[in-house]
Amino acid sequence: MSHALFQKRVTVLDKGWIELLDMMPHPEAGVSGDLAIVNAARVSFLGESKGDERDKKLLFYLMRNHHTSPFEMVEFKFRVHAPLVTWWQWVRHRTWNMNAQSGRYTPFEEDDFYVPSVWRKQAKDNKQASEGELSPEDNAQLTEKLLQHYETAYKLYEEALQMGVAREIARLFLPGFSVYYTWVVKVDAHNLMHFLRLRMAREAQYEIRVYAQAIFDHFFKPALPWTAEAFETYALAAKED
């Protein structure tokens, strides 16, 4: 898989990343993802086209009128390294297929914990959201305390492993929401757009919003430029209105 989309790993948060493992149709298969969507709507053979202008017009018609099944003909498979605070929200999207790294089989690495760049304040009018930031002094103080907490927790984890404790229970010493996990995830373009519409929104938690934005900017738009344009026009713009 020598295509450029498969050659880059996009950095997210402090230690996270996303990479594209596979896509259907593959960019080097001779049929673009946009054309696969159009041809599925026409129930024709892959590779048949009525020209860019008519093809793009049909794709925009599909998006505008919520004809979603043709968009399910394109799939993306990613490998993602993200903290559990991100995965806790990601798994709510049950249309994704997921396989996760297991702490029962693989020991966790030292310092593989999420450290936020800023500490956000609790929003006054939204119980599940943040608003504003702590002062630089308070931010630095909390970050130092968090790093000390991580160091102590990991030492206890290592100590338990050295005593012969099974990995599956030694991990109880690790900070739950901040530890990074690597997952392989797969989704079709229709359900990916639903995920992106919700998780790129301003009200989405930052720790998942940056992953959604990275997928959209670095993988979805380059792979499906017509679909991304229609999505921005009819889904994202409508949500903002």
Give the Cα separation of 43 and 48 in Å (integer): 10
pLDDT of 103 reads 75
- The pLDDT value recorded for residue 164 is 96
pLDDT 10s digits, 21-38: 999 999 888 889 999 999
Other Cβ atoms closer than 10 A to 207: 22
147 in the same domain as 223: no
In a domain, 106, yes or no: no
The pLDDT score that the predictor gives to residue 174 is 93
| Global confidence as pTM | 0.91
232 in any annotated domain:
yes
Whether the per-residue pLDDT at 124 is higher than 60: the answer is yes
User: Which of 63-72, 101-110, 160-169, 188-197 comes out lowest in average pLDDT?
Assistant: 101-110
Of 167, 199, 202, 209, which residue is the catalytic one? Answer: 199
Same domain, 127 and 10: no
What residues pair up with 16 in beta bridges, in sequence order?
12
Please state, in angstroms and rounded to a whole number, the distance separating the CA atoms of residues 236 and 233.
Answer: 6
Are 89 and 29 members of one domain?
yes
Q: Which is more confident, 77 or 103?
A: 77
Same domain, 10 and 88: yes
Q: Are residues 13 and 131 in the same domain?
A: no
Instruction: Mention every residue, 6+ apart, whose C-beta is less than 8 A from residue 136.
Output: none
Range of the domain at 140: 117-173
Give the Cα separation of 180 and 80 in Å (integer): 10
Q: What local confidence, expressed as pLDDT, does residue 110 receive?
A: 84
Q: Are residues 185 and 169 in the same domain?
A: no
Give 48-70 pLDDT, tens digit per residue: 788 999 999 999 999 999 999 99
Q: Mean pLDDT score of the chain, rounded to an integer?
A: 91
Known catalytic residue: 199? yes
Tell me if 96 sits within 8 A of 63, measured CB to CB: no
Domain count, the chain: 2
Q: Is residue 108 part of a domain?
A: no
